[in-house]
Every structure is written in C-alpha cells, then in structure tokens.
Amino acid sequence: MALLEVEFERHIAVLIRDACLAGATEVRKLPPREIVVDAQMASYCREPGCPNYGMSPSCPPHVAGPEAFKALLGRSSLALVVRIEVPSAVLFSEERREVMRLLHEVVAGIERSAVRLGYRESKAFAGGSCKDLFCLNHADCQVLAGGGHCRNPEFARPSMSGFGVNVAKTLEMAGFGGVAKNGPAVRGEAGTSWVAGLVLIA
C-alpha cells in the first residue's frame, strides 16, 4: 500500500474513533458512488410536507438539492456513515431533540477534524431541521430573516433528505444489516431504533 494510502487510512481510523467517543454507536466506510440518491426523497419535504419545510437554510427549498449532491459525491474520496442507536420510545419523547442535536454535533465534529487533516472540502449531513433542533425558541432563523449569521454554525448541518439521500438504503449499502429489522422508529413499538448522518471526505 502506498504511503499516501496508509496515511489516509490512518486519518479515517482517527475520525471513526473520535466519532464513537463523541456518541456514535457505529461508523462505517462507504464508497461515495454507493450512496443512494433519489430526487423523489427531496420532494417529500414539500409534499406531503415536513412541518419544518422552508424554515432553515439547511432544508429545502434553500438547499442545492440532489444534483448538487451528486456533484459533491464525484469530488469525494470516501463517505463515513454514522449511526446512533436509541430506544424507539426516545424518538417520540422530549429527548428526541437531544438525540438529533447529538447527531449534528457528531457529524459536524467529523467534518471539522477532516478539514484540519487536510480534506478541506469535506461536508457533513444529518437529519432533522436545524431550526427545530437548535433555534426552537427563536421566532426566526437569523440567516433567512435578513442576512444575519447562523446562531449555531459549529453544529448545525444540512438534512440528508433535502439532498435526496435515501437513508435506509444507504445504511444497507454500508453494511448495517439490522436496518430492515431495526428500522426507523414506529410510535408505540418497543425495541431499538436509530438516527443517521454521513460525512463526505473530500
């Protein structure tokens, strides 16, 4: 293995280790071309409609969408797929926002570390609206309200769905074999569910 490849693998191992220490249950490597992108996924934000549609610059219609995401995939060397497992009931409780904030913080941390290591175009993506997670108690997003600065630039990251990422299928591609059995939370069901994010290393 060439020296540069050895260094790259060492860097990736550090990123994965640090993400798990920060709260990720598991992080898996995936070739960017194997991320499942479906433009229809992005359209679901508008119809049947997400209650947070249009409320933050990290969600539709304020993001560049699936085609721009595919272009970013073409410039990326690797994807890191992050999963955090939680009891299903948590995602229907007051703790849901805490879990989703943790997801944003973990993937944002990977992104920052990757940039420091020299992968300067690395980008992190999570789930959920940053307005709902970080600025719920503010009437408006400062960025959308009039050109102000983001209140939480260190942690808030764009939604995967807004870029057309089919999250469940992408996790399956990454080898998370329990996704079908251990899928997204269903209200009233016991057991374990998950939230997920990804970081493109570029």
Residue 33, phi then psi, degrees to nearest 5: -65, -15
Q: Look at residues 71, 77, 41, 72 and name the one whose alpha carbon lies nearest to residue 165.
A: 41
At residue 147, the pLDDT reads 74
Domain region containing 108: 3-201
What whole-number distance in Å separates Cα of residue 5 and Cα of residue 113?
18
At residue 1, the pLDDT reads 60
How many independent structural domains does the chain possess? Answer: 1
Residue 113, phi then psi, degrees to nearest 5: -65, -40
pLDDT in tens, 129-170: 999 999 999 999 999 998 789 999 999 999 999 999 999 999
pLDDT in tens, 11-38: 999 999 999 999 999 999 999 999 999 9
- Respond yes or no on whether the N-terminal peptide bond of residue 87 is cis (omega within 30° of 0): no
| This prediction's pTM | 0.91
pLDDT in tens, 32-67: 999 999 999 888 888 887 888 989 999 999 999 999
Q: Residue 107, exposed/middle/buried by CB under 10 A (0-12, 13-18, 19+)? A: buried
Q: Tokens 């690395």 identify what position? A: 122
132 neighbors 33 (Cβ within 8 angstroms): no
Average pLDDT across the chain, whole number: 92
80 neighbors 201 (Cβ within 8 angstroms): yes
